[in-house]
Structure 1
Amino acid sequence: MERKDPKRALLDKAVDHLSEHGVIGRSLRQLAAELGTSHRMLIYHFGSMEGLLVEVVREVEARQRAVLADLDGAGSPVDLAKAFWRRFTDPALYPNERLFFELYGQALQGRPGTEALLPEVVTAWIEPLVAIGKSHGLSEQDARVHARLGVAVTRGLLLDLLATGDLAAVNAAMDRFVDMYVVGLP
């Protein structure tokens, strides 16, 4: 049986725990105790609480991009967009999405150590979405514009969902956006 890398194991535990309980009000020592480790091990692997939080967001986002990659090739751009949206609105993912927005907000507020998220929180999605756009006939420039718009709409509607809990309304809004938007695609 293959052993998981200790840093990887801690990161996975932290993602699950923080998704369920959030970040606000937790010290590094408290979080370490909740994860069944010491604060020294968290510092060793992540440098600081903020370093851990940055890695948590990166991991959550990487998991979501893996879902996108798994869905790519699942049909038309409309089918892909709607399948991806339905995956994001799975209630099992709500804790991760709340955590993402919590940490994103902290980075926007300039919490020391979290600013590293800002350059990649959008750009990490651009290249995979550009590749999909180009595979469906878009030029490089158009694919980049479409990718950025797709990230913005998806994040906005996810925030709406988390704030209101109105899944039917956000699904209707995303479906309308996708249906209207793809009219302009080649």
Structure 2
Amino acid sequence: MNTSADDGSAGQAGYRRSAGSPRGEARRRELLDRVTDDLAVNGLVDFSLRRAARAAGTTHKVLLYHFAGADDLLRQAVLKLRERRTVNAMAAATGGPADRTLADRVHAMWPLLSGDEPHLRVLDEAIGLAMYAPERFAWLGREASRLYLPSLVSLCPAGWSDQRKLEVAEMILGTLRGFLVEWRISRDAAGIAAGFEALTRALEREEADGERPPVAAPTS
């Protein structure tokens, strides 16, 4: 991935920025949609402001009028892709009978997370990039958590405390991320199915248990 300074990642002080007028905001959304569509198809490799400008049918100077630079544009495009994924996954999780268990809801989300559509692979690439260069791209992982956790919390039983909902949502998020990495690198469907069995048992125990006091976080 290339988001170098000569592509507008830094030193944009000479460019006038959009003032946020209704017309300017509509244009910004239009450009962002085009860049997001390009990112969904072509991925993060070689992403740059100039590539984004070609995809949007404009110039990099026009993009710098509406966005703070390549990293800002990438951040917003990735967020739009994640929102699409989250909406689809939550629709699968919340549809169907109202008495479905939490484990059933998590299972229903999996096909919408692990598909081979290009935009889904891009989102998994983004997590890999956050691990590869955390000093610059850690936000790709942090923002994913901020987006996904509230949705997972909302799937938990209403009677649970906020702390317990957060604990279980964190467990689900971490486990599904692990399954996604395993799926992308090994295609070990049998192994993931076995892992889901263990996750199902854990979630069933959580739903069967009464309210418990929160467990203190590790101090190491």
TM category, shorter: 0.7 to 0.9
- Residue 87 to residue 118, structure 1, CA distance change in 2 (3 Å): closer
User: Which residue matches 2:161?
Assistant: 139
Cα distance in structure 1, aligned partners of 2:143 and 2:47: 25
Q: Which structure's CA Rg is the greater one?
A: 2
Cα distance in structure 1, aligned partners of 2:114 and 2:45: 24
Cα distance in structure 2, aligned partners of 1:22 and 1:164: 20
User: Which residue matches 1:36?
Assistant: 57
With 121-130 and 142-151 compared, the bigger mean Cα shift is at 121-130
2:128 is aligned with 1:101:
no
**CA RMSD of superposed structures (Å):** 2.6
Superposition misfits of 4+ residues, deviation over 6 angstroms = none
Cα distance in structure 2, aligned partners of 1:176 and 1:97: 24
Cα distance in structure 2, aligned partners of 1:148 and 1:124: 12
- Residue 181 to residue 102, structure 1, CA distance change in 2 (3 Å): same
Match of 2:177 among 138, 155, 174: 155
2:90 is aligned with 1:90:
no
Please tell me the residue identity of whatever aligns with 1:176: E
Match of 1:172 among 175, 190, 193: 193
Please tell me the residue identity of whatever aligns with 1:32: A
- Could you list the per-position Cα deviations for residues 30-71 of structure 1 after superposition, in whole angstroms to 9, with x for gaps in the alignment? 331133221122222221110011111211221222124323
Please tell me the residue identity of whatever aligns with 1:76: T
Superposition TM-score, scaled by structure 2 size: 0.69
Name the % identity.
Answer: 26
User: Which residue matches 1:9?
Assistant: 30
The CA deviation at 1:73 is 5.1
User: Which residue matches 1:57?
Assistant: 78
- Return the structure number with greater relative CO, CA threshold 8 A, min gap 6: 1
Q: Whose helix fraction is larger, Structure 1's or Structure 2's?
A: 1
Cα distance in structure 2, aligned partners of 1:105 and 1:127: 22
Unpaired segments ≥5 residues, structure 2? 1-24, 208-220
Unpaired segments ≥5 residues, structure 1? none
- How many aligned residue pairs are there? 179
User: Which residue matches 1:27?
Assistant: 48
The CA deviation at 1:98 is 2.5
Q: Which runs of structure 2 are paired with 1:95-134 in the superposition (5 Å)?
A: 95-108=118-131, 109-110=133-134, 112=136, 114-134=137-157
- Could you list the per-position Cα deviations for residues 62-110 of structure 1 after superposition, in whole angstroms to 9, with x for gaps in the alignment? 1222124323253221221111112222322xx2233223333444414
Cα distance in structure 2, aligned partners of 1:110 and 1:175: 29
Cα distance in structure 2, aligned partners of 1:25 and 1:173: 37
Please tell me the residue identity of whatever aligns with 2:75: V
- Residue 26 to residue 84, structure 1, CA distance change in 2 (3 Å): closer
Cα distance in structure 1, aligned partners of 2:34 and 2:135: 23
Cα distance in structure 1, aligned partners of 2:66 and 2:127: 21
Please tell me the residue identity of whatever aligns with 2:86: R
Superposition TM-score, scaled by structure 1 size: 0.80
- Residue 185 to residue 58, structure 1, CA distance change in 2 (3 Å): same
Please tell me the residue identity of whatever aligns with 2:147: A
